[in-house]
């Protein structure tokens, strides 16, 4: 999980938490329902933040849906602020060199809580760049995130 946002300003949006989400977790768009079951019906003048639904990312197939990092804790059914851009301190799932692109880790033991190097075949899943490196899993890096 993101331990700290260290940017003076971040880009955010408001969404509806479809389950309990802890601050710092990566979140994905949608819900367990089919995407067509939660279609936005509002026009520009009546759009509400709770029409966007997010869930925590908790398995290796979720990396393609990452939309941001939870700014605060939220219980299911309540609104949540999701950060999409800024500088963050993040744990790494493995060794990461500074300057490399990063994506949420696909490790099942800590997927929602760490990042890993984006490989060439998964370039579409990258969420930012590591500004500092790590030598091993469990260490922390500073990353510029732009989802």
Here the tokens at position 142 are 């500073």
- Is the four-CA dihedral 141, 72, 61, 7 of positive or negative sign? negative
* pLDDT one-digit tens code per residue, 83-141: 999 999 999 988 999 999 998 887 766 555 788 888 776 767 889 999 999 999 889 99
Taking the C-alpha atoms of residue 85 and residue 89, their distance in angstroms, rounded to an integer, is: 13
pTM: 0.82
Q: Are the beta carbons of 21 and 46 closer than 8 angstroms? A: no
Here the tokens at position 6 are 């260290």
Q: Are the beta carbons of 18 and 31 closer than 8 angstroms? A: yes
CA 81 from centroid of its chain's CA atoms: 12
> pLDDT higher for 116 or 37?
116
Taking the C-alpha atoms of residue 43 and residue 66, their distance in angstroms, rounded to an integer, is: 25
Domain boundaries, the chain: 4-146
């Amino acid at each position: 999980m993101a331990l700290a946002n260290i940017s003076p300003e971040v880009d955010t949006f408001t969404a509806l938490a479809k389950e309990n989400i802890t601050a710092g977790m990566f979140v994905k768009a949608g819900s367990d329902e089919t995407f067509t079951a939660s279609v936005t019906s509002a026009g520009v003048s009546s759009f509400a933040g709770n029409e966007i639904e997010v869930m925590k990312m908790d398995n290796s197939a979720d990396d393609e849906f990452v939309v941001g990092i939870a700014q605060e804790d939220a219980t299911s059914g309540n609104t949540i602020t999701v950060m999409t851009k800024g500088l963050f301190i993040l744990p790494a799932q493995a060794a990461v060199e500074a300057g490399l692109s990063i994506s949420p880790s696909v490790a099942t033991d800590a997927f929602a809580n760490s990042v890993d190097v984006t490989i060439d075949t998964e370039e579409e899943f990258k969420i930012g760049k590591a500004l500092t490196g790590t030598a091993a899993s469990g260490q922390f890096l500073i990353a510029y995130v732009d989802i």
